[in-house]
A and B are shown apart, each in its own frame.
Chain A
Amino acid sequence: MHIDCNKASAGLHTAFTTHRHDPTPAVSLDLIDVRKSYREPNGHQLPVLRIDEFHLKQGEQVALVGESGGGKTTLLNCVAGIDRPDSGKVVVDGVQVNALGEVPRDRFRAERIGMVFQTFNLLPAFSAYENVLLGMSFSGRGVDKARAVDLLGLVGLGHRLSHRPGQLSVGEQQRVAVARALANQPVVMLADEPTASVDTANQETVLDLIRTACTEREITLLLVTHSRQVADQFPRVERLSEFNKPEALA
């Protein structure tokens, strides 16, 4: 059972959607002139992002690689609206995320972004099923219990619904996280080293799951990885240092 953007979020939907149904291959993610630096504890400015242009088309799957501390997580956070660039534009699905106020930005993240983390970040007090429901409960669309069960079935955990994270294997935990990321039918999936904590056998499973789900749903996928093996499976691989020149900021 699938829930469309229903009445509850209809207003938001129209507000967010401008380019989405364009006939031409829609651009799903646009970064234009994005600048971001952190204030270090000693008061110095630490430049992290300086991206003139970066685009992902709708449904595109991109592996993002780069050295540690290069700003990959920062970039994903800016896309998700968890962090805000100092300047520039972050446009996701036609909506300029960094121009939204905080509350609409939270709502936007709930309804348009799916996130998978290296350490899964499941809530320990909740069962697998409840973790997926939790992903739904912050969107304006309400929870869809049947869909939560379907999603866990999709990641092969139909028989582990009531297990809590502590009672699941590491690979299973990451699969629950994938199901949770898919819970709100996102248009963009952000995965930050989703396979790094998983053993090699499970790496494949998790990666396949993410990619198949995104392909089937035309979800744009931006996946950070340090693994050559993982990156090599992607049609497009981007090295952060090639389009991000933070030194020029200093």
Chain B
Amino acid sequence: MNLVQIALKSIRQRALASSLTALGVALGVMLMVCVLVVFGILRRSFTQNSIGYHLVVGPKGSDLQLVLSSVYRIGAPIENIPYKLYEEIQDDPRVAVAVPICMGDFTEEGGFPIIATNRKYFEVPYQPGRTPRDPGKSFRVRGPFVDGAKAFDAVIGSFVASKNGWDLGDQFQLVHGGADTDTSHVHDEKFTVTGVLAPTGTPNDKTVFVMLEGFYAVAGHDMPLAEALQMNHDYFGQETLEGDWEFDPEERVGLGERLRRVDAETARLDRARAEREQATGAERKAITEEMDRIKLAREVELERFYRDITAKTSELESLRSEAARIGGEESPTAEQKARLDEIDKRVARLERAVKTPHAIMHNPPVWMKEVTAVFVRMQQPEGQPGIAEALSIGYAAEMKTGLQAQAVNPVVPMQRLQTQFVGNVELVLFWMTILIVIVSGVGIFVSIYNSMADRRREIAVMRALGARRGTVFTIILLEAVLLCATGGVVGVLLGHVLVLIAAPFVAAASGLLIDPFAFETAELYVVPGLVLLASLIGIVPGLTAYRTDVAEALAE
């Protein structure tokens, strides 16, 4: 019989007390494991390796809000940026992939966020490789979406599919602004599920994706003309055109004609862009330069349109107020009546002119569209690691000085959140669980220490049988170690069982997706740590055993 067997016997002798104290340790360890696993998942989702893009471009504002809303789908997005800015990004030679997304709508059932994007979204790995050779993890889509998408097609995340019970062929409508806001309303257009994503363990599982074409075609998703023009002017008109041209209000070109010119330039631009896809080297460069010229030309037309329509609109307003003033007179003079007639004619003409663009804009033109954010992967020449990162830093800096947008490395705000907030919460929780484990360790101490009085005689008998002081000390120490270690192992198992059971509930409640089989390396230290704790706990009762006066204890 070895000492471990002897210690185990004594533990079994006091089975109830022993199992209760071990259970205390197990529960403490269970909590600790949960904290470790959950925060491990959080921490990992904040690293570069969990986001397949170098930059997220969105309107200026909080970088954290931009990343949380676009990548993690938590909270509302800041605002929108013009679609043309997405085109700028896409056309930049440093950019490898640019994926536009539009947000703001939700599903009626389950309130899942809806992201409008294009097929490229699913071609970029949602988790990039850790090494140049590692291809990372790519989306797997089931359904006809794989072969092509129509405007009103949709792809749903795995969690959406299981939660809403949706599958291929099911139809749904978008709810603007979420179900519970007072401005919310259900859009009439129906989208059809043509793809279901395999689980990814990312917020994508809880997202519904629709095609941008369909999204823009939904009534109410196009901007009011004035707003679109204003945004276009703010982003592009002022800066790109400064000094290069003059607006001549006398030019006899109608608003409709201007718009047709803009559309023509857009068409040219699209053709050039398609051409550029095929071109390489010098030809590609030439096309890029040509594209810049076209953009400038289009910008000039747009800006002229903007100024013209702004002038007309404000004239319209002042005429109307003048008419109202005259109309309010008790007895208008003949002069005033003549003026009223004049105003009426002018107003009628202006109204016709201003209406023209509305009439010809059923399908919103590029400059009237917006996106919420653009995900960007930079070019990464083979064999030159770090280039993409360097490019992304330069690109972000450029964007900071210009325009009204920002380009954010999604890791940066998330890591800030991690170190400033989440990390501290983890630390506090972690130390709390350590404290719980120590307290349950004290329980083991009390249990063993209390048993020592009853066991004086047993110890004396062992000594009489020839056991050394050191041997009885070791037996008591082993009891503490065995109890703690058993509690620890059971606790680790319980912790994972709890994570396994809780994962779907946590996912449903918090949007945090938890891999139920996630394992933290820190857990490897739990059992050795407990053995250390147990050794400390066992010392005092062990010493009591060590010091037992055999003759005296035998005489009792």
Contacts and interface: CB of A to CB of B under 8 A. Distances in A.
B12 interface: yes
Contact of B1 (A83, A117, A122, A143): A143
A74 to B, nearest CB: 8
A117 B463 CA distance: 14
Interface string A72-83: 011001001011
Nearest to A114: B465
B466 A121 contact: no
Interface in B1-58: 1-2, 6, 9-10, 12-13
A125 B5 CA distance: 11
A116 B198 CA distance: 74
Contacts of A8: none
Name the residue among B12, B467, B555 with the largest chain A CB count within 10 angstroms: B467
A103 B468 contact: yes
Nearest to A107: B466
A124 B9 CA distance: 10
A11 B467 CA distance: 19
A137 interface: yes
A135 B10 contact: no
Interface in B448-464: 457-458, 461-464
Interface in A135-160: 135-139, 143
Contacts of A121: 457, 461, 464, 554
Contacts, number: 74
Contacts of A126: 9
B464 A115 contact: yes
Given A133-B1, A143-B1, A109 B466 contact: yes
A73 B555 contact: yes
Interface residues of A, number: 33
B550 interface: yes
A139 B466 CA distance: 7
A102 interface: yes
A130 B13 CA distance: 14
A198 B79 CA distance: 94
Interface in A79-123: 80, 82-83, 102-103, 106-107, 109-111, 113, 115, 117, 121-123
B471 interface: yes
A56 interface: no
Contacts of B466: 106-107, 109-111, 113, 138-139, 184
B199 to A, nearest CB: 51
A106 B473 CA distance: 14
A137 B1 contact: yes
A130 B1 contact: yes
B469 interface: yes
Contacts of B465: 109-110, 115, 134-135, 138, 180
22 contacts: A77-B550, A77-B551, A82-B550, A82-B551, A83-B551, A102-B469, A103-B468, A106-B466, A106-B468, A106-B469, A107-B468, A110-B467, A115-B465, A121-B457, A121-B554, A123-B462, A124-B458, A134-B6, A134-B465, A137-B2, A138-B468, A138-B471
Interface of A: 73-74, 77, 80, 82-83, 102-103, 106-107, 109-111, 113, 115, 117, 121-126, 130, 133-139, 143, 180, 184
